Amino acid sequence: MTTSSAPGKVYLFGEHAVVYGEPAVPCAVGRRARVTAERRDDGRVRVEASDLSLDGFAITYGGDLDEADVNVPSGLVEAATGYVDGAVDQARDAAGEPDAGFTVTIESDIPLGAGLGSSAAVVVAGIDAATRELGVELPPEELADRAYQVEHEVQEGQASRADTFCSAMGGAVRVEGDDCRRIPDAPELPFVIGYDGGAGNTGELVANVRGLREQYTFAADTVEAIGDIVRTGEHALENDDVEEVGRLMNFNHGLLSALGVSSRSLDTMVWAARDAGAMGAKLTGAGGGGCIVALDTSEGARTALDYTPGCEEAFRAELDTDGVRAE
Active-site residue set: 163
Tell me if 54 sits within 8 A of 113, measured CB to CB: no
Q: Strand, helix or coil at 243?
A: helix
Helix ranges restricted to H, the chain: 74-95, 118-133, 140-154, 162-169, 202-215, 217-238, 242-258, 264-275, 300-306
**Cα 180 to chain centroid, rounded:** 16
Residue type present at position 249 = M
- Phi and psi for 15 in degrees, rounded to 5? -60, 155
| Residue 8: C-alpha distances to residues 154, 167, 169 (Å) | 18, 6, 11
Q: Count other Cβ atoms within 10 Å, centred on residue 247.
A: 17
With beta carbons less than 8 A apart as the criterion, state whether 230 and 13 touch: yes
